[in-house]
Structure 1
């Protein structure tokens, strides 16, 4: 079912959003959907040509030109400066979308430290840096506010060529699911978005490896291998605008989890069945059961907007 961002204008008109990795792929699709919902935007980018094309799209639509912020999401000092720049420019910041990431694959047993440091540094570290830099501004703002961390279906479904990538997305999933409890008392929504195959150039990340992480453990791609992999994204991938529109809908509905691709029902069903089957069939001692019931109550209290302390868990 098509999602029309205009349906959510009443909630988001004039709200200020900052999106990382926002001039290509899912970041751009999200920016376009947000703009169609009347939001004001600050967009991070790395490539000047992509930035220029994005600026043209906004001009052709007659929309306000976004505040473009050149940013490497692994640069903590740079991220903090951008956050202050956005707050100074707009007065308030209401929405943070941590989207920037790299898709790099190879057998985990062959990985180098540089492979770990680069992939985890961007995919997980970039989310951390976004939260650290923008959270004070979101807490200081008024009205409707939201954080979206974009992970991947790899946050649920590991694969033989995606060990570090999967680890980074599992980490984003765990962080976001826990952060939701902490933000509820502040009236700030929090969503984890896990897209799957989308028409982006994420497959080309291996061609953009920074010099400081040059010592790869993965063998270089064979001639045409990445391009063949990328053809699946181009031919079969979801339109990034559709992903962005579904993110907007999920935010509006206060969905903690935003899944964009319907084809993974069979995978999630199998994964859930494996977890249930792995549970031992035996009685649980009353003391342990009591502690787990306290944990469950604490989670529900946090979702309801109550602050939960350590002594609420024992």
Structure 2
């Protein structure tokens, strides 16, 4: 089979949160595409189950690396280990996250620090640790940050979670322009309901962030909430769509088709919120310069501040 059919054959990928849920689906899709894998994990049983899957397929075992994505020192060590083991690293998938919900008006500092620290801070740590090594590598390269449909759709119980995913969205959409001149692709993936155990995050709260402002949730209530995830998309399908989006150099990868009505409503509200009045020529010029700069950046040109005025 040619490289055209398997463009990621032999590429080295590092995936965070990769032994359960969407991360595992990504790892499996990447393995089927012939990629070499380094996978981060927290739980030994989940790691063993993932290793067994690779054995069952006759695939080369991944490089498993224990990692808390909020640990910057360990993240840097992991990046070094990946390059030391494989020689290069070409793909980074920042996937690890926590799904924790509660009324935002009751949230404590610990709630903010934990959720933002994992969901946004973990992405930041991945980028700072791995981007220099990806830039130093050659050939087809890509960064994918996995956010959530919450990056577009807020909810009354998901304020901090939504804020973290909005942050990942904004960071990734800007990063894409910075990586283009280096020949590195960049995608934002926003999955919706997926068949995972993400609902158990509230049961795994670290002791260092124990002062929550949210009322305790009964395990039975969480388990009932978890039944919704049984209707979700198979994680392998999400992983396959991420792989296909990367191959197509898509800046935005949406995996679930059912959100058309949400985006239509969002578009109508945005257009209705715009003032119906003429903008002065000076402002129109500046905004056109911004649009031109974004188009140029997508073509791989490096944009300076002077290009915006």
TM-score in same-fold range (> 0.5): yes
For these two proteins, the number of residue pairs brought into alignment is: 308
Contact 1:8 1:249 in 2 (8 A): no
Moved over 3 A (4+): 6-9
* 1: CA distance, partners of 2:222 / 2:192: 18
Per the alignment, residue 272 of structure 2 pairs with: 277
* 1: CA distance, partners of 2:206 / 2:270: 38
Is 2:189 the counterpart of 1:189?
Answer: no
* 2: CA distance, partners of 1:129 / 1:108: 25
* 1: CA distance, partners of 2:268 / 2:229: 29
Deviation string 1:208-246 (CA, Å, 9 cap, x unpaired) is 000000000000113411000101102x01000000000
Contact 2:145 2:187 in 1 (8 A): yes
Contact 2:10 2:34 in 1 (8 A): yes
**Partner SS for 1:68:** strand
* 2: CA distance, partners of 1:264 / 1:60: 36
RMSD over equivalenced CA pairs, Å: 1.1
Is 2:222 the counterpart of 1:226?
Answer: yes
* 2: CA distance, partners of 1:57 / 1:9: 24
Contact 1:151 1:195 in 2 (8 A): yes
Per the alignment, residue 39 of structure 1 pairs with: 35
Gaps of 5+ in 2: none
Contact 1:94 1:144 in 2 (8 A): yes
2:11 alignment partner, one of 15, 40, 43: 15
Gaps of 5+ in 1: 1-5
Contact 1:8 1:37 in 2 (8 A): no
Q: Evaluate the alpha carbon distance shift between residue 7 and residue 93 of structure 1 in structure 2; reply closer, same or farther with a 3 A threshold.
A: closer
Shift of 1:10: 2.2
TM-score normalized by the length of structure 2: 0.98
1:85 alignment partner, one of 62, 81, 84: 81
* 2: CA distance, partners of 1:44 / 1:253: 26
Is 2:53 the counterpart of 1:61?
Answer: no
Per the alignment, residue 96 of structure 2 pairs with: 100
Contact 1:14 1:39 in 2 (8 A): yes
**Partner SS for 1:93:** coil
2:70 alignment partner, one of 74, 99, 105: 74
**Partner SS for 1:116:** helix
* 1: CA distance, partners of 2:3 / 2:45: 32
TM-score normalized by the length of structure 1: 0.97
**Partner SS for 1:193:** strand
**Partner SS for 2:156:** coil
